Structure 1
Amino acid sequence: MDRTFTLDEARALLPAVVREARELIAARADLAEIDFARRSGVPSGLGGLPEIKGLQARIEEILSGWSDQGIEVKGIAPVLVDFPAVLDGVSVRLCWIEGERELGWYHRTELGFAGRRPL
């Protein structure tokens, strides 16, 4: 989906993104722990293969939901998402990374994360 967000639209979506990101982070950690236990031959209290499949499905559901809204997923460890936007006639990405409290950064589309600037 090609969508362009206003700053207000992106900020309005951010609370839901943060909630889902917390769920994704927990699922990511559980998945890593279960996988490590399986590779080590040690049982995990978090489960086994069925739980891995369930966690993978939930992560994919979250990522697909974001993509369906036009949010660009740039990474999951850490969670990094971009909201396509136009500022002063320039194509940019409003940028949020795991741990940030608000949507306070952007970068020109062609520069990526390294070109981040405060809004």
Structure 2
Amino acid sequence: MTPDVREFTVAQARALIPEVRERAARIVELRADLAELAHDLRTSGSSPLGGRAELKALEARLDEQIAWFTGQGIEIKGIAPFLIDFPAVLDGRSVRLCWLEGDAELAWYHRTELGFAGRRPLP
């Protein structure tokens, strides 16, 4: 691990899940509004959600939400669906504790080098 990567214990990561779920819900809402507004502006030039100013404001709000995760040391792996990893060590091995949009709790991990394809239930 590089010195600038925060490592979480399972307990530390799980303690953040209520805040993660709240912020993820905001990201999902912002993501949908942004997609709809951008599509409408691109295809018809107008939208009930607003114009270019509202598009820029939505982008800024999305960036603010994302910045919270990165500021905590949480890695964002995808926006749609929203997927995050908490760097950790289990049994002496570098892993990522994995949370996916819609998960009620933190219950998965994968070896760092394997990524999502190696996802397993936490022991």
Give the structure-1-normalised TM-score: 0.96
Write the mapping of 1:1-119 to structure 2, written as runs, cut at 5 A.
1-41=4-44, 43-119=46-122
> Deviating runs (4+, > 2 A) in structure 1?
none
1:102 CA displacement: 0.6
1: CA distance between counterparts of 2:60 and 2:91? Answer: 39
1:76 CA displacement: 0.4
1:43 CA displacement: 2.6
1: CA distance between counterparts of 2:72 and 2:28? Answer: 20
1:42 CA displacement: 5.0
2: CA distance between counterparts of 1:12 and 1:54? Answer: 30
1: CA distance between counterparts of 2:73 and 2:81? Answer: 19
1:68 CA displacement: 1.0
Unmatched 5+ stretches in structure 2: none
1: CA distance between counterparts of 2:51 and 2:15? Answer: 37
User: How many residues align structurally?
Assistant: 119
Give the structure-2-normalised TM-score: 0.93
Residue 39 of structure 2 aligns to a residue whose secondary structure is helix
Measured on the aligned residues, the alpha-carbon RMSD in Å equals: 0.9
1:86-110 per-residue CA deviation (whole Å, 9 max, x = no partner) reads 1111110000011111100000000
